[in-house]
Amino acid sequence: MRLSHALLTTAFVLAATTAQADGYKVALDGTFAPHAMPSLSGGVEGFNVDLAQAIGDKLGTEMEVIAAQFSGLIPALQAGTYDFLVAPTTVTAERAENLLFSEGFMDTNFAFTVPAGSDAMDGLDAFKGKTIAVNKGSVYESFLTDRAEEYGWEVVSYGTNTDAVEAVATGRADANLAGATVSAWAAKQNPRIDLSYEYPTGLVWAFPFRKDDTQTRNTIDTVLECLKTDGTMAALSEKWFGVTPAEGATIVTPTAGYGTPGFDGYDDTAHDVTCDL
C-alpha cells in the first residue's frame, strides 16, 4: 500500500525527532563570550549554553554540556566522546566533507563598533579613511588589510579584541571590527561604544554531527526550527546580544530540508515546522 506524501512526511518527522532516552552529551568552547564563558557559579553560561538547554527542554531529555578547547572538539566528536557539538561552528565545504551539519542557527557576520553617539554607518564606504582597531591575527584583521587600499582605512592591531574595543572607547580608533555577536556583546557591556554596521558574509554557524548520525542531526534540526518560530531564539538574542533579530535573519528563519543548503550532507526532504516533538 502506497502511503500519501503527508503521511510519509509525518512519519519522517516523527522518526527524526526521537530523542535519546539517556540524553545527549554535547560540547562547546567555554571561552567564547557571549556564546559560552565561565559563570560565577563555576560552570559555563552564554547564548549557546542556553540554546543547548532549550533543545533539551523541547525534547524532554537531559543535555550534558561540556566546556573544552575548540581545537579538540571535532576530534572528540569523531571519536564518539560527544553526541554533537553546540559550539558556534562555521559551515564550510571542507568541514562538510567530514561532518554533518544542522541548518544554520545564526548568520556568521562581521560588525563594527564605534564611539557612543556616533552617526549611523551604512556600508563599508562609511569607514573610508577611518582608523579601525582589530584583534591581531584574526580573520577580521585579514579582511580589513585586504581592503585597506580600496577603502583607505588604517588598520591598528591589538593583542586582544578587548584592547581593540578599548581603543575605540578612549578615542584612539574610530571603529573596531569583530564578529557580529562579539561586537553586540561588547556594546551591551560598554556604554562608551555603540554597535554599528553589520557586514554580511553569507556564512552561517551550525551544529556539527558525525557523518553517519543522520537521525540525531535531523532531530536537532527539527528542534532548531521550532525554537526559531516560537520566539525562543529571538529571546536569547535579546538576552545575550541586546539585539532583536531582523525579519529573515537565519536566527529566526527555518531552513527547508535538513542541514545547510549547498553543502555536502544537506537533505532537501520537505517537512512542516513543528513544536509537537
Instruction: Give the tens place of pLDDT for each residue, 43-87.
Output: 999 999 999 999 999 999 999 999 999 999 999 999 999 999 999
Q: Which residues of the chain have pLDDT under 50?
A: 1-16
Q: Considering the entire predicted model, what is its pTM?
A: 0.87
| Pairing state between β 175-179 and 89-90 | unpaired
Mean pLDDT of the chain: 92
- Is it true that the peptide bond before 200 is cis, omega within 30 degrees of 0? no
Give the model's pLDDT for residue 8: 38
d(CA 265, CA 163): 40
Give CA separation, 140 vs 102, 222, 259, 267, in Å. 25, 33, 27, 32
d(CA 250, CA 29): 22
Give the model's pLDDT for residue 22: 83
Residue 237: phi, psi to the nearest 5? -65, -45
Question: Which of helix, strand or coil describes residue 36?
Answer: strand
Domains of the chain by start residue, with CATH: 5-107+204-252 (3.40.190.10), 110-199 (3.40.190.10)
Q: How far is CA 230 from the centre of its chain?
A: 18
Three cell numbers, residue 118 = 556616533
Angle 112-34-170 (CA atoms, 0-180°, nearest 5)? 45
What are 12-35's pLDDT values in tens digits?
A: 444 445 667 689 999 999 999 999
Angle 185-144-251 (CA atoms, 0-180°, nearest 5)? 40
The one-character DSSP state at 4 is P
